[in-house]
Amino acid sequence: MNSIGPLTLLTALPIAGAVLVLILKRAQKLSRAVAIVIAVAALLATLVLWARFDSAAPGMQFQEVHTWAPSVGLTYHVGVDGLGILLLVLSAVVVLMSLAASWRNASHGPVYFALVLLLEAGLFGTFTALNFLHWFIFWELTLLPAFFLVRLWGGPQRGRASVQFFFYTMVGSVALLLAFLALYLATGTYDFTTLAQMAQNGGLAAALQQNLHWGGWSGGHIALILFWAVFLGFAVKTPVVPFHGWLPDTYSEASSETTMLLTGAMSKMGIFGFLRILLPIFPAQMQEMLTPLLWLAVASIVLPAFAAWRQKDLKRTFAYSSVNHLGYCVLGVCVAAKLTGVDPSLAIEKSAALTGVLLQIFSHGLTAAALFWFVALLERRSGGLRGLEDFGGLRKIVPVFCGLMGIAIFASLGLPGLNGFPAEFLIFKGAFPLAGWAATAALLGLLLTAVFLLGILQKVFFGPLGKGQLETKTDTNSSSLPAAMRDLSTTERFALAPAIALMFVLGLYPQLIAGKMAGTVTQWTTPATSATEAYKTTAPKHNAARLEAASGAWLIHRKAQAGKAQVAD
Amino acid sequence: MNGSMTVLRILPEIIFTLTGVAIMLIDPVMPKQASRKPLGWLAAFGALAALIASLYQYSLPVGTAYFGVVQTDAFSVFFHVLISGIILVSALVVLDAVHPDTESLGELFALMSFGAVGMLLMTSGVELLLVFIGLEISSISTYILAGFRRKTAKSPESALKYFLLGSFATAFFLYGIALTYGATGTTRITDIAAGLATSHALPIAVVGLAFIVIGLAFKVSAAPFHLWTPDVYEGAPSPIVGLMSTAPKAAAFAVLLRIAYEAFPQLQNHWMPLLWILAAVSMTIGNLGALRQKNVKRMLAYSSIAHAGYLLVAFTVLSTDGVAAASFYAVAYAVMNVGIFAVISHAGGYEDRLTLIEDYKGLAYRSPLLGGVMAFFLLSLIGIPFTGGFFGKFYVFAAAIHSGMIWLAIIGLLNSGIAVFYYLRVLTATYTKPMDSSPVLNVPRVSAPLCLAMALTVAVTLVLGIIPGRVLSMARHAAETFPVFSTQQTPVPGTASAVMAAINTKAR
Amino acid sequence: MQSHPYTWNYLPLLIQVVVAAGLGLAIVGLSWLIGRGRASKAKLDAYECGVPVEGDARGRFSVRFYMVAMLFILFDVEAVFMLPWAVIYRHLPVLTGSRMFGFWEMVVYLGFVVVGIFYVWKKGILDWTNDRGDL
């Protein structure tokens, strides 16, 4: 495995693109076009990988291992499972959407485009890395372009917001690093897969017990401390509620195109961490801490929904709504953690929850990015206004805009037929039997989401004309504002159409994603010492069959997939 | 004794001496109005030659020369390479920052070369008296260099403070040597360990070691011996600060490592807690002090105190890992600090026109190159991946955790969190759109030597951040030269443990 | 004779101290005894080439005085280094294992001293009246 594999090339592509964009800096138009072409190419590349990804096989695919700095345990090890490939596609989609949204934004020069491409490279690196140090390097590296994107383009308070963003994330990262240094000391490896295996067969706790002598604590206690340290890192990034202080300011001060990236792609790094690191490496600790974790998850669902309701600013509303939606993911993960032993009756619920989490990752990325795109369009038309009170009755002036944004809002709200519904449905389906009280409490969040999103719909689209448009009419001598608000141009409609179409497709046919995730979810729900071996026995088939029966009509294709895999084996 | 081999063991020192002498000979005979820049190039080429000579020294077998006072081993050569490199870059930075008609510019370059001789002798000397002479040579050069802007009030003030506290520190160091001699009957670092085993005056040796540590702690500006640092860095010319915040410190750290691990391994239970406290206090005072600074040079002075603290964390580790991490960190820190002072001395000028953080507003818009390089080094100082700063900190804290220094590692990591704040403040200023009246508007054109200096430092920082394996293995190799690590598996009976037992019974 | 105390080694030193002190006392004493004391204002004043005994403590000196004093100390100390070298010169071939090593070492050393003198000279520091010096 010494040749350069597809995942390395995929990560290198945006970096090369960024360099090219900077070289062509003088020719503004050309460099932007190059950036878009690179983003499209990256998306196509991820789609090719998606197509070639064996949905039924468990474990990592497209793996690649090189030595890097062996003396510190740093290995270049990349590979993707269902989670990884899903996030690769999502990042490519969101980056392309963001670049497309920036196309007409004159203040976003070539440097902006180059930074976005660098961010994309960082995301690809993060989502493919399987060695902690290698992963951590990319995890930190995404912070840089993100910091500059917030710092250089955005609202008047962007300086403070960017420092806040950087600092919060750094603190989380420091905790992460510390925990993994301790893990490395105990186990001698940074490899996620190896660590997960050790966690499953009890080797991890034994190693901690044996090799770490911290003030007489037992291995279990040390593992718990490490778990909370790692949790802190992801909780800040996702964010989970008490650690979300950086988010509203950052999301609202960054330019909307940047916020698309932050919420669409970067927030998924936290969820990725939950699924790739926390759940496999610390399953026992998650179980032990399940009640506080569920409380945190419920808090991340309900409180931001309340906060969103009270906001007067569209961007802040959507920012809080983003925390709320990611709260469902955290809930799903925590619920899945409840069950680690073999218990077929609940394994179905667990796999429903996990499938829901995966769907929600993609669905929220798509919807949130789309929503902030609409905010960007609105801001540009109104000359920077984005307060809820500034608008009203938009439906009369810009009907197409309102129609499309309405679809996005309904998708975010979870209307059946759109992408939000199957994801949230599956999460709740898993959550109710496993943690009924948490799911019930989380329902309140669902309700509040509906309240504030419909509130936006009512205030902005219906009712009397607001200040945003009135000003554009009375204040005609101000050259910065357009004479009257324009509806979406043909280009913009074409740019938005695929995103909106995807919402419908995923809403009506979630199997598109769920099918690809089958192998991964089966692996997660099969807590055998060696997942590969377990898969070869008949148990998963049995499991898969039960799953289909339980998980509803949209999982109907799974049987065929699983059957195919069996034939292949 | 093979004569040619003897000379080769001090080849870089000889090259620096000859360079300095040549500058001293040429400078007075040049016409008074003539530009002194060629002398700077001469100094740079001298440093380059010394760098190559140092790299060549890797091929020499380990051994001593001149009656056993200098020793070339992987450890001393490692620091030879580092210090020669720092002098090379600093010469280039000085070339860029000063006006060609700055008075007595020739002396400045000569002093840099002579100071380098002292630093190199510090790292390769295994005889405490030679180390002391090296320390004095390097210190006296830097005292003068610090006061080089004679026309301003701040620079001589800085030189005087540096001189007074510095000579105080060297006095401590010398007294420590004397006490050690009294206790062990030798001043040869390699013999002290054996002398300690049979010594009847161990308490005196402990006091001597304490004095030596105090003297060197002054030199590396570890808190609480750091009080001179902000004032001196503020007053001294920026290109010189880049030099004196790195090279003499690296040399002093090398001496401290050699003395601690080669001469006094038996007393580790005495010096280890001492260094633990120094490390914790330095990191905390350095970072908290830096938070409140408005002047970039003062801020970096406090940051250098903090970095000395991180480096001392690695000292307390008592393993090959620790020494290797300390050596690696010395390289990473030196390169990024020299690099950032290269930018500051260009933007702020030799006369220190612009040293407030506010002055750096919009630097990136005025000169994208300078702004970018500055941002790069700030990020490296924060410890972002793909820069030397990341792996430097990583190795240090990894080594600390591996030896059970959990609390020190936690203090260190918390501190690196605090550090993010003040580095970002400068970074934010650099990328703030300038107001029309801001003074940074006229950044002078970036000259070729500065480009070279920045390219060198950026390249090395990137190499350290992306492929650190080679430098780390060199550092590890350097650490293995200490006999305490090679005999760690089979401790000689009757040395360390017996001595410790003796001390403990005496204490009771 | 064979059991005289260790301190007897210092007897020549003691004799030298006694002689030096005696000589000084003798000169001063004899001139006081033999000389005819005819006091005048100039003769009772502070010694002729010194500074006035009374005045402001913050009086200024030309920095040249310090320069010359410093140069004196420098070259003085450098000259002193030659003394131990001269004492053990005969033994150097045995000590160093090379016949001329000790000799060439001193030549190198003196070379550095000469470079120093050359530098000082060319910089005009020895030139008291000329303001060319880089002071």
In angstroms, the separation between the Cα of residue A236 and the nearest Cα of chain B is 14
Sign of the torsion formed by the C-alpha atoms of C81, C87, C90 and C95: negative
Residue type at position B334: A
Nearest partner of A227 among A168, A166, A292, judged by Cα:
A292
Average pLDDT over residues B308-333: 91
Q: Count how many Cα atoms sit within 13 Å of the Cα of residue B211 in the half-sphere of its side chain.
A: 19
Residues with Cβ within 8 Å of C36's Cβ and at least 6 positions away in sequence, in order, are none
* pLDDT tier, A172 (very low <50, low <70, confident <90, very high otherwise): confident
Inform me whether the C-beta atom of residue C77 falls under 8 Å from chain B C-beta atoms: no
- From the CB of residue B481, how many other CB atoms can be counted at a distance below 10 Å? 20
Q: Which residue of B has its CA nearest to C122?
A: B28
What six digits make up the tokens of B210? 């304490």
Inform me whether the C-beta atom of residue B249 falls under 8 Å from chain A C-beta atoms: no
Chains touching B, CB cut-off 8 Å, 3+ pairs: A, C
- 8 A C-beta contact, residue B311 and residue B400: no
Smallest Cβ–Cβ distance between B473 and the set A68, A71, A140 belongs to: A71
C-alpha A154/C-alpha A357 separation (Å) is: 31
**Residues of A with Cβ-Cβ distance to B382 under 8 angstroms:** 170
In angstroms, the separation between the Cα of residue B347 and the nearest Cα of chain A is 21
Strand pairing category for A61-69 and A74-80: antiparallel
Q: What is the pLDDT of residue B88?
A: 95
* pLDDT tier, A481 (very low <50, low <70, confident <90, very high otherwise): very low
Residue B500: pLDDT over 70: no
Q: Which backbone phi and psi does A292 adopt, to 5 degrees?
A: -60, -35
Q: What is the pLDDT of residue A510?
A: 86
DSSP-based three-state secondary structure for A475: coil
C-alpha B41/C-alpha A373 separation (Å) is: 56
Residue type at position A315: K
- 8 A C-beta contact, residue B179 and residue B207: yes
Average pLDDT over residues A73-86: 86
C-alpha C17/C-alpha C11 separation (Å) is: 10
Average pLDDT over residues B26-33: 86
Helix (H) or strand (E) run with residue B267 in it: none
Helix (H) or strand (E) run with residue A352 in it: helix A344-382
**B317, B360, B431: best to mutate for the A interface, most A CBs within 10 A:** B431
Average pLDDT along chain A: 81
Q: Tens of pLDDT along A376-386? A: 888 888 777 77
Q: What is the pLDDT of residue A545?
A: 41
Residue B492: pLDDT over 80: no
Q: What is the pLDDT of residue B160?
A: 93
DSSP-based three-state secondary structure for A340: coil
Q: Tens of pLDDT along C1-19? A: 455 667 787 888 899 999 9
Inform me whether the C-beta atom of residue C122 falls under 8 Å from chain B C-beta atoms: yes
DSSP-based three-state secondary structure for B65: strand
**Residues of A with Cβ-Cβ distance to B476 under 8 angstroms:** 71
Residues with Cβ within 8 Å of A283's Cβ and at least 6 positions away in sequence, in order, are A199, A200, A337, A340, A527
Residue A543: pLDDT over 50: no
What six digits make up the tokens of B54? 């140092």
Smallest Cβ–Cβ distance between B28 and the set C97, C98, C123 belongs to: C123
Q: What is the pLDDT of residue C4?
A: 66
- 8 A C-beta contact, residue B287 and residue B373: no
Nearest partner of B382 among B348, B424, B349, judged by Cα:
B424
- 8 A C-beta contact, residue B302 and residue B231: no
Query: A residues 282-311 near B, CB within 8 Å?
Result: none
Inform me whether the C-beta atom of residue C115 falls under 8 Å from chain B C-beta atoms: yes
**Residues of A with Cβ-Cβ distance to B416 under 8 angstroms:** 174
Residue type at position A226: L
Smallest Cβ–Cβ distance between B409 and the set A136, A166, A178 belongs to: A178
Cross-chain residue pair C134–B25, CB shorter than 8 Å: no
DSSP-based three-state secondary structure for A254: strand
Please report where in the chains the tokens 């600060």 appear, as a residue: B241
Q: Tens of pLDDT along B192-229? A: 988 888 888 888 899 999 999 999 999 999 988 999 99
* pLDDT tier, B451 (very low <50, low <70, confident <90, very high otherwise): very high
Q: Tens of pLDDT along C100-125? A: 888 888 999 999 999 999 998 888 88
Residue B82: pLDDT over 80: yes
**Residues of A with Cβ-Cβ distance to B414 under 8 angstroms:** 174
Strand pairing category for A74-80 and B70-72: unpaired
**Residues of B with Cβ-Cβ distance to C118 under 8 angstroms:** 25, 28
C-alpha B139/C-alpha B120 separation (Å) is: 12
Distances (CA, A) of A140 to A119, A160, B193: 11, 20, 45
* Chains A–B, number of C-beta pairs less than 8 Å apart: 76
* pLDDT tier, B42 (very low <50, low <70, confident <90, very high otherwise): very high
Helix (H) or strand (E) run with residue B44 in it: helix B37-57
Please report where in the chains the tokens 């190799």 appear, as a residue: B477
- 8 A C-beta contact, residue B37 and residue B25: no
Q: Which residue of B has its CA nearest to C112?
A: B21
Q: Which residue of C has its CA nearest to B3?
A: C98
Q: Tens of pLDDT along A21-73? A: 888 877 778 888 888 899 999 999 999 988 888 887 777 888 888 888 777 77
Let me know if C94 is exposed, middle or buried by CB neighbors in 10 A (0-12, 13-18, 19+). Answer: exposed
**A15, A72, A183: best to mutate for the B interface, most B CBs within 10 A:** A72
Residue C51: pLDDT over 70: no
Query: B residues 456-475 near A, CB within 8 Å?
Result: 467-469, 472-473
Residues with Cβ within 8 Å of A269's Cβ and at least 6 positions away in sequence, in order, are A123, A126, A127, A139, A142, A237
Inform me whether the C-beta atom of residue A217 falls under 8 Å from chain B C-beta atoms: no
Inform me whether the C-beta atom of residue C89 falls under 8 Å from chain B C-beta atoms: no
Q: What is the pLDDT of residue A68?
A: 81
**Residues of A with Cβ-Cβ distance to B402 under 8 angstroms:** 181, 185
Residues with Cβ within 8 Å of A550's Cβ and at least 6 positions away in sequence, in order, are A348, A349, A352
In angstroms, the separation between the Cα of residue B300 and the nearest Cα of chain A is 19
Residue C49: pLDDT over 70: no
* pLDDT tier, C21 (very low <50, low <70, confident <90, very high otherwise): very high
Residues with Cβ within 8 Å of A86's Cβ and at least 6 positions away in sequence, in order, are A358, A361, A362, A513, A516, A517
Q: Which residue of A has its CA nearest to B372?
A: A148
Smallest Cβ–Cβ distance between A137 and the set B385, B416, B472 belongs to: B385
* pLDDT tier, C60 (very low <50, low <70, confident <90, very high otherwise): confident
Q: What is the pLDDT of residue A552?
A: 40
Cross-chain residue pair B420–A136, CB shorter than 8 Å: no
DSSP state, A154? B
Bond into B61 cis (ω within 30): no
Q: What is the pLDDT of residue B269?
A: 85
Residues counted in chain B: 508
**B21, B104, B105: best to mutate for the C interface, most C CBs within 10 A:** B21
C-alpha A469/C-alpha A401 separation (Å) is: 14
**Residues of B with Cβ-Cβ distance to C122 under 8 angstroms:** 28-29
Q: Tens of pLDDT along A446-474? A: 888 888 888 888 888 887 776 655 544 44
Inform me whether the C-beta atom of residue A376 falls under 8 Å from chain B C-beta atoms: no
C-alpha A308/C-alpha B422 separation (Å) is: 33
Helix (H) or strand (E) run with residue A184 in it: helix A158-187
Cross-chain residue pair B21–C112, CB shorter than 8 Å: yes
* Chains B–C, number of C-beta pairs less than 8 Å apart: 17
* pLDDT tier, B79 (very low <50, low <70, confident <90, very high otherwise): very high
Cross-chain residue pair A163–B424, CB shorter than 8 Å: yes
Q: What is the pLDDT of residue C3?
A: 58
Query: B residues 301-360 near C, CB within 8 Å?
Result: none
Q: Which residue of A has its CA nearest to B473?
A: A71
Average pLDDT over residues B488-503: 39
- 8 A C-beta contact, residue B370 and residue B346: yes
- Residue B72, strand partner residues: B63
DSSP state, B445? P
Give me the DSSP letters along A365-376: HHHHHHHHHHHH
Cross-chain residue pair B1–C97, CB shorter than 8 Å: yes
Rounded to two decimals, the ipTM of the complex is 0.78
Inform me whether the C-beta atom of residue A166 falls under 8 Å from chain B C-beta atoms: yes
What six digits make up the tokens of B308? 């000395």
Q: Tens of pLDDT along A205-229? A: 778 877 776 666 777 788 888 899 9
- From the CB of residue C129, how many other CB atoms can be counted at a distance below 10 Å? 6
Average pLDDT over residues A98-123: 86
Inform me whether the C-beta atom of residue B7 falls under 8 Å from chain C C-beta atoms: no
Smallest Cβ–Cβ distance between C98 and the set B3, B25, B27 belongs to: B3
Residue A568: pLDDT over 60: no
Residue type at position A247: L
**Residues of C with Cβ-Cβ distance to B3 under 8 angstroms:** 98
C-alpha B195/C-alpha B188 separation (Å) is: 10
Q: Which residue of B has its CA nearest to A156?
A: B432
* pLDDT tier, B143 (very low <50, low <70, confident <90, very high otherwise): very high
C-alpha B123/C-alpha B372 separation (Å) is: 34
Q: Is A48 left (phi over 0), alpha (psi -120 to 50) or beta?
A: alpha
Smallest Cβ–Cβ distance between B24 and the set C98, C119, C134 belongs to: C119
DSSP-based three-state secondary structure for B436: coil
- The least confident of B28-37, C30-39, C45-54 is C45-54
Average pLDDT over residues A260-280: 89
- 8 A C-beta contact, residue A181 and residue B401: yes
Smallest Cβ–Cβ distance between C115 and the set B1, B24, B103 belongs to: B24
C-alpha A428/C-alpha A90 separation (Å) is: 23
Smallest Cβ–Cβ distance between C134 and the set B3, B29, B104 belongs to: B104
Average pLDDT over residues B104-109: 88
* pLDDT tier, A311 (very low <50, low <70, confident <90, very high otherwise): confident
**Residues of A with Cβ-Cβ distance to B468 under 8 angstroms:** 69, 72
Q: What is the pLDDT of residue A531?
A: 40
Cross-chain residue pair B103–C115, CB shorter than 8 Å: no
- From the CB of residue B426, how many other CB atoms can be counted at a distance below 10 Å? 22
Inform me whether the C-beta atom of residue C56 falls under 8 Å from chain B C-beta atoms: no
C-alpha A123/C-alpha A92 separation (Å) is: 9
**Residues of B with Cβ-Cβ distance to A151 under 8 angstroms:** 428, 431
**pTM score:** 0.80
Chains C and A touch (3+ CB pairs under 8 A): no
- From the CB of residue C33, how many other CB atoms can be counted at a distance below 10 Å? 7
- The least confident of A308-317, B177-186, B329-338 is A308-317
Q: Tens of pLDDT along B356-410? A: 888 888 788 888 889 889 999 999 999 888 889 988 998 898 888 888 788 888 8
**Residues of C with Cβ-Cβ distance to B1 under 8 angstroms:** 97
Helix (H) or strand (E) run with residue A351 in it: helix A344-382
End-to-end CA distance of chain B: 49
Distances (CA, A) of A550 to A168, B130, C36: 41, 82, 135
- Does CATH number 1.20.58 belong to domain C6-122? yes
